[in-house]
Chain A
Amino acid sequence: GAVVSQHPSWVICKSGTSVKIECRSLDFQATTMFWYRQFPKQSLMLMATSNEGSKATYEQGVEKDKFLINHASLTLSTLTVTSAHPEDSSFYICSARVSLGAGETQYFGPGTRLLVL
Protein backbone atom coordinates (compact mmCIF):
# COMPACT_ATOMS: atom_id res chain seq x y z
CA GLY A 1 0.00 0.00 0.00
CA ALA A 2 0.89 3.64 -0.26
CA VAL A 3 3.40 4.85 2.27
CA VAL A 4 3.72 8.22 3.89
CA SER A 5 6.78 8.99 5.98
CA GLN A 6 7.46 11.71 8.50
CA HIS A 7 10.67 13.03 9.93
CA PRO A 8 11.58 13.40 12.69
CA SER A 9 9.48 10.92 14.64
CA TRP A 10 9.95 12.92 17.80
CA VAL A 11 11.63 16.14 18.79
CA ILE A 12 12.33 18.00 22.00
CA CYS A 13 13.16 21.68 21.72
CA LYS A 14 13.50 24.79 23.83
CA SER A 15 10.77 27.37 23.93
CA GLY A 16 11.26 29.99 21.23
CA THR A 17 12.95 27.76 18.69
CA SER A 18 11.49 26.66 15.37
CA VAL A 19 10.91 23.06 14.39
CA LYS A 20 10.49 21.69 10.88
CA ILE A 21 8.58 18.46 10.23
CA GLU A 22 8.78 16.73 6.87
CA CYS A 23 6.07 14.61 5.29
CA ARG A 24 6.89 12.53 2.23
CA SER A 25 4.82 10.31 -0.01
CA LEU A 26 7.19 7.46 -0.84
CA ASP A 27 5.59 5.66 -3.75
CA PHE A 28 3.00 8.04 -5.12
CA GLN A 29 2.55 11.69 -5.95
CA ALA A 30 0.36 13.75 -3.67
CA THR A 31 -0.90 17.08 -4.92
CA THR A 32 -2.66 17.56 -1.62
CA MET A 33 -1.48 16.68 1.85
CA PHE A 34 -3.10 17.38 5.18
CA TRP A 35 -1.63 18.29 8.54
CA TYR A 36 -3.36 17.24 11.73
CA ARG A 37 -2.64 17.78 15.39
CA GLN A 38 -3.64 15.43 18.17
CA PHE A 39 -3.47 16.18 21.87
CA PRO A 40 -3.37 13.27 24.36
CA LYS A 41 -6.61 11.34 24.66
CA GLN A 42 -8.20 13.49 21.96
CA SER A 43 -9.13 13.13 18.33
CA LEU A 44 -7.26 14.42 15.30
CA MET A 45 -7.89 18.03 14.43
CA LEU A 46 -7.15 19.27 10.93
CA MET A 47 -4.78 22.20 10.92
CA ALA A 48 -4.34 22.89 7.24
CA THR A 49 -4.49 21.54 3.71
CA SER A 50 -1.21 21.67 1.89
CA ASN A 51 -1.43 22.19 -1.88
CA GLU A 52 1.51 21.57 -4.16
CA GLY A 53 2.70 24.77 -5.75
CA SER A 54 0.27 27.05 -3.95
CA LYS A 55 -0.53 28.42 -0.53
CA ALA A 56 -1.87 26.18 2.18
CA THR A 57 -5.45 26.47 3.34
CA TYR A 58 -5.68 26.83 7.11
CA GLU A 59 -8.55 25.82 9.32
CA GLN A 60 -10.24 28.39 11.49
CA GLY A 61 -8.24 29.21 14.56
CA VAL A 62 -4.90 27.98 13.21
CA GLU A 63 -2.28 30.71 12.94
CA LYS A 64 -0.73 30.58 9.50
CA ASP A 65 2.26 32.65 10.58
CA LYS A 66 3.01 30.23 13.37
CA PHE A 67 2.50 27.02 11.45
CA LEU A 68 4.25 27.52 8.13
CA ILE A 69 3.46 24.98 5.45
CA ASN A 70 5.42 24.48 2.27
CA HIS A 71 4.49 21.95 -0.42
CA ALA A 72 7.32 22.42 -2.87
CA SER A 73 7.01 19.11 -4.71
CA LEU A 74 4.52 16.35 -5.36
CA THR A 75 6.16 14.16 -2.73
CA LEU A 76 7.11 16.57 0.04
CA SER A 77 5.25 18.88 2.39
CA THR A 78 6.83 20.54 5.40
CA LEU A 79 5.31 22.03 8.54
CA THR A 80 7.40 24.50 10.49
CA VAL A 81 6.32 25.41 13.99
CA THR A 82 7.83 28.84 14.49
CA SER A 83 8.80 30.15 17.91
CA ALA A 84 7.45 27.04 19.56
CA HIS A 85 6.00 27.25 23.05
CA PRO A 86 5.02 24.52 25.51
CA GLU A 87 1.38 24.71 24.44
CA ASP A 88 2.49 23.63 20.95
CA SER A 89 3.59 20.29 22.37
CA SER A 90 1.48 17.74 20.57
CA PHE A 91 1.43 14.86 18.11
CA TYR A 92 1.55 16.13 14.52
CA ILE A 93 0.42 13.82 11.72
CA CYS A 94 0.34 14.34 7.97
CA SER A 95 -1.74 12.48 5.45
CA ALA A 96 -2.23 12.21 1.71
CA ARG A 97 -5.22 11.14 -0.32
CA VAL A 98 -4.88 8.12 -2.56
CA SER A 99 -7.39 6.85 -5.10
CA LEU A 100 -7.99 3.11 -4.97
CA GLY A 101 -9.87 2.24 -8.12
CA ALA A 102 -13.48 3.06 -7.33
CA GLY A 103 -12.61 3.86 -3.77
CA GLU A 104 -10.21 6.09 -1.93
CA THR A 105 -8.44 6.52 1.31
CA GLN A 106 -6.09 8.80 3.09
CA TYR A 107 -2.83 7.34 4.25
CA PHE A 108 -1.21 8.81 7.31
CA GLY A 109 2.39 9.25 8.25
CA PRO A 110 3.64 7.74 11.52
CA GLY A 111 3.42 11.11 13.25
CA THR A 112 5.86 13.42 15.00
CA ARG A 113 5.77 13.94 18.74
CA LEU A 114 6.83 17.47 19.64
CA LEU A 115 7.75 18.43 23.18
CA VAL A 116 8.57 22.06 23.83
CA LEU A 117 10.32 22.73 27.10
Chain B
Amino acid sequence: AQKITQTQPGMFVQEKEAVTLDCTYDTSDPSYGLFWYKQPSSGEMIFLIYQGSYDQQNATEGRYSLNFQKARKSANLVISASQLGDSAMYFCAMREGRGGGNKLTFGTGTQLKVEL
Protein backbone atom coordinates (compact mmCIF):
# COMPACT_ATOMS: atom_id res chain seq x y z
CA ALA B 1 0.00 0.00 0.00
CA GLN B 2 1.11 3.54 -0.73
CA LYS B 3 2.32 5.34 2.34
CA ILE B 4 1.88 8.79 0.84
CA THR B 5 -0.85 9.48 -1.69
CA GLN B 6 -1.18 12.61 -3.77
CA THR B 7 -4.22 12.23 -5.97
CA GLN B 8 -3.81 15.39 -8.03
CA PRO B 9 -1.22 14.95 -10.79
CA GLY B 10 -1.79 18.54 -11.89
CA MET B 11 -3.52 21.66 -10.61
CA PHE B 12 -4.20 25.08 -12.06
CA VAL B 13 -4.83 28.20 -9.99
CA GLN B 14 -5.18 31.85 -10.84
CA GLU B 15 -2.70 34.31 -9.50
CA LYS B 16 -3.67 35.71 -6.06
CA GLU B 17 -6.07 32.85 -5.41
CA ALA B 18 -5.58 30.17 -2.75
CA VAL B 19 -5.00 26.54 -3.69
CA THR B 20 -5.08 23.31 -1.72
CA LEU B 21 -2.84 20.39 -2.60
CA ASP B 22 -4.04 17.09 -1.21
CA CYS B 23 -1.98 14.54 0.66
CA THR B 24 -3.07 11.46 2.59
CA TYR B 25 -0.80 9.11 4.44
CA ASP B 26 -0.83 5.65 5.90
CA THR B 27 1.08 4.61 8.99
CA SER B 28 0.53 2.65 12.16
CA ASP B 29 3.36 4.44 13.93
CA PRO B 30 2.06 6.96 16.49
CA SER B 31 5.10 9.16 15.94
CA TYR B 32 5.68 10.58 12.50
CA GLY B 33 6.43 13.79 10.67
CA LEU B 34 4.90 15.21 7.54
CA PHE B 35 6.73 17.46 5.11
CA TRP B 36 5.98 19.44 2.01
CA TYR B 37 8.63 20.27 -0.57
CA LYS B 38 8.57 22.39 -3.70
CA GLN B 39 10.60 21.32 -6.73
CA PRO B 40 10.88 23.92 -9.51
CA SER B 41 12.14 22.98 -12.95
CA SER B 42 15.73 23.49 -11.78
CA GLY B 43 15.35 20.32 -9.72
CA GLU B 44 16.25 21.58 -6.27
CA MET B 45 14.03 20.43 -3.42
CA ILE B 46 12.88 23.38 -1.34
CA PHE B 47 11.55 22.68 2.15
CA LEU B 48 8.23 24.41 2.77
CA ILE B 49 6.61 23.20 5.96
CA TYR B 50 6.70 20.49 8.63
CA GLN B 51 4.00 18.98 10.87
CA GLY B 52 4.73 16.58 13.69
CA SER B 53 2.16 13.96 14.60
CA TYR B 54 1.92 15.27 18.15
CA ASP B 55 1.68 18.92 17.19
CA GLN B 56 -1.58 20.38 18.46
CA GLN B 57 -1.76 23.20 15.97
CA ASN B 58 -1.57 23.24 12.22
CA ALA B 59 1.79 24.37 10.94
CA THR B 60 2.08 27.68 9.12
CA GLU B 61 5.00 29.27 7.28
CA GLY B 62 4.20 32.53 5.58
CA ARG B 63 1.80 31.83 2.71
CA TYR B 64 1.97 28.10 3.38
CA SER B 65 -0.21 26.31 5.88
CA LEU B 66 -0.75 22.64 6.51
CA ASN B 67 -4.29 21.44 7.12
CA PHE B 68 -3.55 18.51 9.41
CA GLN B 69 -6.49 16.19 10.01
CA LYS B 70 -5.06 13.33 12.02
CA ALA B 71 -8.17 11.17 12.17
CA ARG B 72 -8.49 11.31 8.41
CA LYS B 73 -4.73 10.93 7.94
CA SER B 74 -4.57 13.90 5.68
CA ALA B 75 -2.02 16.71 5.50
CA ASN B 76 -3.11 19.07 2.78
CA LEU B 77 -0.95 22.04 1.82
CA VAL B 78 -2.70 25.36 1.43
CA ILE B 79 -0.96 28.11 -0.53
CA SER B 80 -2.58 31.49 -0.11
CA ALA B 81 -2.32 34.37 -2.56
CA SER B 82 -0.67 32.29 -5.29
CA GLN B 83 2.18 33.83 -7.23
CA LEU B 84 3.55 32.95 -10.66
CA GLY B 85 6.72 31.77 -8.94
CA ASP B 86 4.72 29.12 -7.12
CA SER B 87 4.47 27.12 -10.34
CA ALA B 88 6.38 23.93 -9.60
CA MET B 89 6.06 20.30 -8.57
CA TYR B 90 5.01 19.82 -4.96
CA PHE B 91 5.82 16.70 -2.97
CA CYS B 92 4.32 15.51 0.30
CA ALA B 93 6.58 13.27 2.39
CA MET B 94 6.47 11.36 5.64
CA ARG B 95 9.06 10.29 8.17
CA GLU B 96 7.94 7.43 10.40
CA GLY B 97 9.10 6.79 13.92
CA ARG B 98 10.90 8.95 16.39
CA GLY B 99 14.30 8.97 14.76
CA GLY B 100 13.57 5.70 12.93
CA GLY B 101 16.20 6.18 10.24
CA ASN B 102 14.74 9.59 9.49
CA LYS B 103 14.24 8.56 5.92
CA LEU B 104 11.48 10.23 4.00
CA THR B 105 8.90 8.52 1.84
CA PHE B 106 7.58 10.75 -0.93
CA GLY B 107 4.29 10.95 -2.73
CA THR B 108 4.08 11.09 -6.51
CA GLY B 109 3.78 14.84 -6.54
CA THR B 110 1.38 17.48 -7.82
CA GLN B 111 2.35 19.80 -10.65
CA LEU B 112 0.98 23.27 -9.86
CA LYS B 113 0.57 25.89 -12.56
CA VAL B 114 -0.25 29.45 -11.55
CA GLU B 115 -1.93 31.45 -14.29
CA LEU B 116 -2.48 35.16 -14.78
Contact = CB atoms under 8 A, between A and B. Distances in A.
A44 B103 contact: no
A32 B99 CA distance: 11
Interface of A: 1, 32, 34, 38, 42-46, 49, 57, 91, 93, 95, 97, 100, 102-108, 110-111, 113
13 contacts: A43-B106, A44-B91, A44-B106, A45-B106, A49-B103, A93-B45, A95-B104, A97-B102, A103-B50, A104-B50, A105-B35, A106-B35, A108-B47
Contacts of A113: 43
A110 B107 CA distance: 19
Interface string B40-54: 001111110010100
A32 B108 contact: no
Contacts of A43: 91, 106-109
Interface of B: 33, 35, 37, 42-47, 50, 52, 91, 95, 101-109
B44 A108 contact: yes
Contacts of B35: 105-106
A41 to B, nearest CB: 9
